[in-house]
Structure 1
Amino acid sequence: MVKIREMLPEDWEQVAKIYKQGIETGAATFETNVPLYKDWDTAHLNNCRFTALYKGDIAGWAALSPVSSRCVYGGVAEVSVYIGEKYRGLGIGKTLMNHLILESEKDDIWTLQSGIFPTNTGSIKLHEVSGFRYIGKREKVGKLHGVWVDNLLYERRSKIVGTD
């Protein structure tokens, strides 16, 4: 059974290990190195940071990043969900995503967005079953190891926040 709890600073070593595994796939992020915790912490919202525990181990994590410092985007956040390599395919990502969605709405976030590499079929499926819709493609938006990579844009609008 999976248990979701708030991410704690002392989780960083395990969270960073999972992040590194995602980086090593070449399909999860443009990052090529795991940042220092203080840099990661600054780049993510203080709320909506979670770890998934499976048999007592941190099996995955999820967090939100602001998309802009402009106040009009205060309810819009970018999603990060990472699952440790030995825990993929067990439904942990779906459990984490569902929790992240519920908690984000409690924090008045009305739009969640993600940029996904076309090769990351697991993430695409996760977003689609979690109510995200494909809204477009940014072609050759960035280089990873010298190769141009497209980014597929997915968005989920809350049905309870920002509907007025």
Structure 2
Amino acid sequence: MAIMIRNAKKEDWAEIKYIYEAGISTGFATFETKAPAIYEQWVLKAHPECTLIAQNENKVLGWCKITTISDRLAYAGVGEVSVYVHPNAQGMGVGNFLLKNLITVSEEQGYWTLQVSIFRENNCSVYLHKKNGFREVGIREKIGKLNGIWRDNVLLERRSNLVGLEEDC
């Protein structure tokens, strides 16, 4: 299967939303309980060059994006990662392909740290991120409720070897 990567467009919204809703329905992907109603809400805090889709022919297989974690200038090079794969494309390397491309693009855009919070039970996502250079920095216990149940998140981060972190001497 030939997988292509490109920036997401408004015309992709129906497929992006379907994939997001499929992830939401698992109860292991996000604290969100429904996808945004419109594309503009979904991309509101996302970096435009770091909002990607993977596709095979004209079918969206998955998406990823980086959103800002803070409006404070000190955090300009830090972003939060989201990766979602179509249920029919899981186990085919789509998530890995997306994340590798996102890391490359993020460094081109000046990101020096990427972070992600993953439900403790979502072992596949934790593995995917660790495989791509993320390290576990902690567990956020009972950080939020989903359907009335407190959930823990594994907090992972990836520091770029190419961007930022210049030493002051």
**TM-score normalized with structure 1 length:** 0.97
Root-mean-square deviation (CA, aligned residues, Å) is: 0.9
Residue 78 of structure 2 corresponds to 76
Residue 44 of structure 1 corresponds to 46
1:76-100 per-residue CA deviation (whole Å, 9 max, x = no partner) reads: 0000000010100000100000000
Q: Percent identity?
A: 44
Q: Secondary structure at the match of 1:47?
A: strand
Moved more, 129-138 or 48-57: 48-57
Residue 118 of structure 2 corresponds to 116
Query: Are residues 1:18 and 2:19 paired?
Result: yes
Residue 53 of structure 1 corresponds to 55
Deviation at 1:40, TM superposition (A): 1.3
Equivalent pairs, count: 164
Uncovered stretches (5+) of structure 2, i.e. residues with no partner: none
Aligned partners of 1:80 and 1:68: how far apart in 2? 16
Residue 148 of structure 1 corresponds to 150
Aligned partners of 2:36 and 2:58: how far apart in 1? 25
Query: Are residues 1:5 and 2:6 paired?
Result: yes
1:68-119 per-residue CA deviation (whole Å, 9 max, x = no partner) reads: 0000000000000000101000001000000000000000000000000011
Q: Secondary structure at the match of 2:44?
A: helix
Q: Secondary structure at the match of 2:99?
A: helix
Q: Secondary structure at the match of 1:22?
A: helix
Uncovered stretches (5+) of structure 1, i.e. residues with no partner: none
Deviation at 1:55, TM superposition (A): 4.2
Aligned partners of 2:165 and 2:143: how far apart in 1? 31
